[in-house]
Structure 1
Amino acid sequence: MDFSLELPTGPLAEAILSAVRTSETPSLANHSVRSFFFAQLLAAHEGCLEDAAYDRDLLFAATVLHDLGVGELAKGKARFEVEGADLAADLLRRHKVPEADVGRVWEAIVLHTSAGSAERRDLLTYLTREGVGIDFGHNAEIVSPWEKQIHAAYPRLAMVRSLVDAIVERAARSDAAAPLNSLGAELLRERRTEGVTRLERAAASCPWGE
């Protein structure tokens, strides 16, 4: 397939990129943009680009905004997936995105860490989770022809460690930010008891490192 590093344009796309680049570390901002490219490549691989449910602009919003909950805009008053989804929804509403589409993006962000749930929802939620997962090395073979080009433009910058640091820091702010069995709570527990988390250990086997 033809592949381009071109991103969506227009006021909404610019606001999405600005929100991420001004509130997240460069490492996390790059991770979010890579997740968009990987999700697009997965959609092409699975023949979804012509599907009526496929919406490139909403996929851009969901993937690029999926970690707002670990950026500077988040207060640590709820689990990071929920707080990030709320922040993303507020941004979309300010740009007059239809409420049904706001809800789709909200759900995709909330469920992006929920294995076994995201895959059973709509195409946007599925592609968002899988695009993020590919950036951790899952199904890497699907994007291997293009990953060097993507990583050259958006380098990793120790993404896994940077992300875990941000999740753990916010999870430690309140009980509401780290409810039992949530990803934030588990990573916080692992950091405190073992000094290293499962995500950091798994990065050792990721085909493109952390």
Structure 2
Amino acid sequence: MIIAGITIPDSKIAREVTELIKDTESELLFHHSTRVYLFGALAGIRKGLKFDPELLYIGAMFHDIGLTQAYRHSMERFEVDGANAARDFMRRHQIPQDSIDLVWDAIALHTTPGIPQHKKPEVALVTAGVEMDVVGLGFSEFTPEQREQVIAMHPRGNHFKENIIQAFADGMKHRPETTFGTLNADILERMDPTYKRVNFCSVILESNWQD
């Protein structure tokens, strides 16, 4: 399938990824993840980057799986859960370790602004796709036709902004400590009245060092 000039990977492993994510994630997250791939690939082409579409697809599709019901027991950061899930999936398919490491980084770093764009293209483009779809970063760099074609095939639905914030909160509210030092703290600060943000200066000043 081609959307906005971007081909959705159709290899055996890509089809398995699609079915796994479709069966595991909500419709909201499935469409979001697919849009992340499409916007990431469009950004990569516009910037003249050479990237592996299949690795970008795996990274984009797995990047939010850590928010799903299957990880409600986890005390890891949800990004790490997603990276580990992709790693395990790729190992079962005997994908080379360097490719696994690339996808792991792409998923684990996608909520850490300022770093991914300095990494390899697949890492940078997963984050670029997330930033475009969630906060509209680079919105005007995509043509209206590109945006419309992506949304037509993978709709945002009504109230996407509020719904994606809720999905983030649902996936993290049982492990609030994992948001320390990340932009995820903003989610729980807004959505959970019992959440208390940890201040890094307080951590330093309250350490055991006597100086």
Structure 2: distance between partners of 1:67 and 1:98: 23
**Which is higher, the Rg of structure 1 or of structure 2?**
2
Question: Of the candidates 60, 64, 69, which is equivalent to residue 67 of structure 1?
Answer: 64
- 2:59 is aligned with 1:58: no
The match for 1:23 is 24
Query: How far is 1:135 from its partner?
Result: 1.1
Residue 5 of structure 1, CA deviation: 5.4
CA apart distance, 1:175: 4.8
The answer for the alignment partner of 2:127 in structure 1 is: 129
1:167 to partner: Cα distance: 2.0
Q: Choose which of 89, 102, 116 in structure 2 pairs with 1:91.
A: 89
Cα distance change, pair 179–43 in 1 and its aligned pair in 2 (3 A)? closer
> Hey, what does 2:100 align to over in structure 1?
102
Q: Give 1:147 deviation, angstroms.
A: 0.9
How far residue 142 of structure 1 moved from its aligned partner, in angstroms, is 2.1
Paired residues of 2:69 and 2:171 also in contact (CA < 8 A): no
Question: How much does 1:182 deviate?
Answer: 2.8
Give distance in 2, aligned partners of 1:162 and 1:33. 17
TM-score of the superposed pair, with normalisation by structure 2: 0.81
* Residues 31 and 154 in structure 2, CA contact (< 8 A), matched pair in contact too: yes
TM-superposed deviation, 1:20? 1.3
Structure 2 unaligned spans of 5+: 195-211
Distance 1:71 1:181 in 2: 22
Cα displacement string for residues 154-190 of structure 1 (whole angstroms, at most 9, x for unaligned residues): 10023332322222123221355x3423333331122
TM-aligned CA distance change 1:135 to 1:77, over 3 Å: same
C-alpha separation in 2, matches of 1:163 and 1:146: 22
Measured in 2, the distance between the counterparts of 1:184 and 1:148 equals 29
Q: Unaligned regions of 5+ residues in structure 1, if any?
A: 195-210
Aligned to 1:116: 114
Instruction: Provide the rounded CA distance (Å) in 1 between the counterparts of 2:163 and 2:117.
Output: 26
Alpha-carbon distance between aligned partners in 1 of 2:61 and 2:25, rounded to the nearest angstrom: 11
> How far 1:80 sits from its partner (Å)?
0.8
Q: Normalized against structure 1, the TM-score is what?
A: 0.82
Count of aligned pairs between the two proteins = 189
Give the Cα–Cα distance (whole angstroms) in 1 for the partners of residues 32 and 80 of structure 2: 19
Query: Which deviations, in whole Å up to 9, do the C-alpha atoms of 1:21-55 show, x marking residues without a partner?
Result: 1111111110110111111111111112xx3xx11
Deviation of 1:4 after TM superposition, in Å, equals: 3.2
Instruction: Quote the Cα distance in structure 2 between the aligned partners of 1:94 and 1:39.
Output: 26
Q: Which runs of 4+ in 1 moved over 6 A?
A: none
Question: Deviation at 1:10?
Answer: 2.2
CA distance in 2, matches of 1:121, 1:42: 15
Paired position in structure 1 for 2:147? 147
**What's 2:189 paired with?**
189
User: Percent identity over the alignment?
Assistant: 26
Say which SS state the counterpart of residue 146 (structure 1) adopts. helix
